[in-house]
Amino acid sequence: MRRWAFRRLRLDYPRAGRSGVRRWLPSWRQIGLLFLFCVGSLTGFLGYIYWQTQIPENLNEFATQQDNVYYWADGTEMARTGPVNRQDIALEKIPEKVQWAVLAAENANFYSDSGVSPSGLMRAVSKMVTGGDTQGGSTITQQYVKNAYLNQRQTLSRKLTEMFIAIKLDNKMSKEDILEGYLNTSWFGRGTYGIQRAANAYYGKNVSELNVSEGAFLASLLKGAGSFDPAISAKNRARAVERWEWVLDRMVEIGELSAEERAKYTKFPEPKEPPKQVGLSGQVGYLVDTARAYVSSHTDISDADFDLGGYQIHTTFEKPKVEALAKAVEKAQSRLDPKKNANDKYVRVGAASVAPDGRIAALYGGPDYLKQGFNDANASNVPAGTAFTPFVYAAALRDGVLRERGGARTPVSPESVYNGDDKVAVTTPEGPYWDRSGKIVRGENDGGKSWGQVSLRKAVEDSINTPMIQLGMDVGLDRVRRASVDAGLLPTSFGVPRVPGFSLGTATPSAIRMASAYGTFVADGMHAQPYSVTSLKLNGDAVELEKERPDRAFSPQVAEQVDEALKGAVAQGSARQAATVAPGAGGKTGTAQDGKSAWYVGYTRDMSTAVSLSRLHPKTQELLPLKGMTGASGLGEAGGTVPGAVGGDYPIDIWTDYIGSVRGSS
């Protein structure tokens, strides 16, 4: 009883000595105490939340993920990969007046505030309480926190968390770092995050090239890009012009733009039309995959880091050559009629152009990357056929031959004579070569033709099989393999046991590697590894790329001798069809002995191009015969025509159309 009396005396509520309504009305003192209690409680509550709120250790994955941008050899954009069209840029590379255009539009006192706007926060809270829009009232620091650490939901709890993180972030980070982060994570419309990609999307230039007028327009987009992009509607344009003018006037008001300079900008800086989405369709996807693989194998960048984006990959690919090569393949394939002829189904073409220094200028990977992701230019399942024989010839010229057991190796020359007759027996230093069935192995020429005694040079020029089979045995198949690897083929291309037929191309190199290896003969015997990337940057900063130095595969004399034979093949031999568009070129046709592949590899002084033809069953992944293809005369290995044989004229037709187009446009 006494305790209750004490409490009544202390609180004096209900108020003693009062009656009626006045007994229940608090005094001014009680109201003041209640106010102080509420303020204290709220302060304590907010202080507790502030103490509990921590700056997240990691940025949102969405805030750090960027696109990777691939460029053609001429510097124009080829493709962007990644789910987000973003490219970070250092604040120092953004013109100061463009920075101030953003600050004038969004947060003029950014450099002096504490990271939050109390009045703006109260407005946002009141709108949430009354059910209104909670957007607005945020400083740039708060907006950056929302972009980088939180989400876009407008709730009271999220808004409070945003405010407290912003206060702590303002104490931890410099204003410059916060502004840089904000400009790199903000949405500007047209699928772009960050002011660098926005500058490209709206004006086709880097942000460093923007003037203050263009910067004022981009700043306008931060209020809501969907409402201010002039390309969307006339109403949008009117809003954009009004906002642009306001931003410039606001810059004058805060002292960051003189009235004289403001007077220069009376015409709205019309942005360009929205760029077409650059995808991976057609050949672009094959090019991107090739460049991506090169980056992976020539840097220590992990796949996970690369996928976070921000890289600019400058490639060696020349757009005119890529387009010309694709057109040449399409023209050849237009002769096929898979609906009427079953032998025209499942045709695959791989092609690549490689410069003597290793630069991959063009490739054809398939009909469309989005329809066929497998890159036929880099496929290693198509036998080289007799397009392999120049490496046998080069090995012989370099290493000589061994014809007697225990004897010395004997040098050979282009004029060394071999038996070019059909069905001639293959021999070893021990005698005839017997197969597993107990029969002597005999070489076969294309069309069963016998040539008599021929020089090695003529055997290469006219693609005569029997001398090449015997030459490979005399050199030693291990040495032939080594010479082809030195020229540029990969060791993994040789999966078949080395038997006499090895010299006629059982190896399965890619078109890229075949083109590169033939280029060794043009480069005086020096082989440069093929490459598809010239430079790599991360957000504008150079990243080191490992690059192999050229290696000597053959002496200049050997390279010249092989080059002369291959030029002879074009001038008067098996590849003379190519002479019509490229006099002085070298090249070699090639067909597999089982008729399941056909090649042409040809070169000029500045470029080597390989074209492979095969038919691959989509389910079994087995090669099918080329015989019987529509419109295929089947260029014989001796330069003659064997109707319907193996479709061997398709690769050389593609090469001649391609080279003719490239030369005609240069």
Q: What CATH number does residue 136 fall under?
A: 1.10.3810.10
| The last residue of a domain, from among 262, 286, 313 | 262
Shared domain check, 219 and 155: yes
Helices of type H across 598-643: none
Domain-embedded: residue 351: no
Domain of 19, in residue numbers: 2-52
Q: 3-state class of 477 per DSSP?
A: helix
Shared domain check, 112 and 255: yes
| Residue-wise pLDDT tens digits, 132-165 | 444 445 888 888 777 776 544 445 555 666 665 7
Task: Report whether pLDDT(642) > 50.
Answer: no
Domain-embedded: residue 506: yes
Domain-embedded: residue 184: yes
Q: What is the pLDDT of residue 603?
A: 97
CA angle in degrees (0–180, nearest 5) for 412-414-418: 70
Shared domain check, 175 and 123: yes
613, 622 Cβ separation under 8 angstroms:
no
> What is the pLDDT averaged over residues 252-260?
95
Task: Report whether pLDDT(238) > 90.
Answer: yes
Long-range contacts of 433-441 (CB under 8 A, 24+ apart): 433/473, 433/500, 441/499, 441/500
| The last residue of a domain, from among 262, 277, 311 | 262
Q: 3-state class of 233 per DSSP?
A: coil
Sheet containing 68-71: order of strands: 77-81, 68-71, 311-315, 533-538, 541-543
Shared domain check, 172 and 25: no
| Residue-wise pLDDT tens digits, 460-472 | 999 999 999 999 9
Domain-embedded: residue 376: no
> How many percent of the chain have pLDDT more than 70?
80
Strands (E), 114-246: 187-189, 192-193
Q: Is the pTM of this model over 0.75?
A: yes
584: burial class by Cβ within 10 Å (0-12, 13-18, 19+)? exposed
Long-range contacts of 642-648 (CB under 8 A, 24+ apart): 642/446, 642/447, 645/595, 646/591, 646/595, 646/598, 647/598, 647/613, 648/589, 648/591, 648/598, 648/613
Shared domain check, 480 and 562: yes
Q: What is the DSSP letter of 581?
A: T
β 417-419/453-455 pair status: antiparallel
Domain-embedded: residue 300: no
Q: What is the pLDDT of residue 15?
A: 59
Q: Looking at this protein, which amino acid is placed at residue 588?
A: K
Shared domain check, 248 and 132: yes
Shared domain check, 87 and 11: no
342, 630 Cβ separation under 8 angstroms:
no
Domain-embedded: residue 448: yes
Q: What is the DSSP string of 248-269?
A: HHHHHHTTSS-HHHHTT--S--
| Residue-wise pLDDT tens digits, 42-52 | 555 555 454 44
> What is the pLDDT averaged over residues 353-365?
97
* Number of domains into which the chain is organized: 3
How far, in Å, CA of 120 to CA of 139, rounded? 8
Residue 80 belongs to what H/E stretch? strand 77-81
413: burial class by Cβ within 10 Å (0-12, 13-18, 19+)? exposed
| Residue-wise pLDDT tens digits, 386-434 | 999 999 999 999 999 998 887 889 999 999 999 999 999 999 988 899 9
Q: What is the DSSP letter of 449?
A: -
| The last residue of a domain, from among 238, 262, 286 | 262
Q: What is the CATH number of the domain that holds 414?
A: 3.40.710.10
Domain-embedded: residue 360: no
Shared domain check, 118 and 40: no
Distances (CA, A) of 661 to 41, 322, 327, 333, 658: 81, 11, 9, 17, 5
Shared domain check, 627 and 485: yes
CA angle in degrees (0–180, nearest 5) for 500-501-507: 120
Domain-embedded: residue 315: no
Strands (E), 486-627: 526-527, 533-538, 541-543, 551-552, 586-591, 597-603, 608-615
Shared domain check, 23 and 92: no
Shared domain check, 479 and 431: yes
Shared domain check, 144 and 37: no
Residue 268 pLDDT grade (very low, low, confident, very high; cuts 50, 70, 90): very high
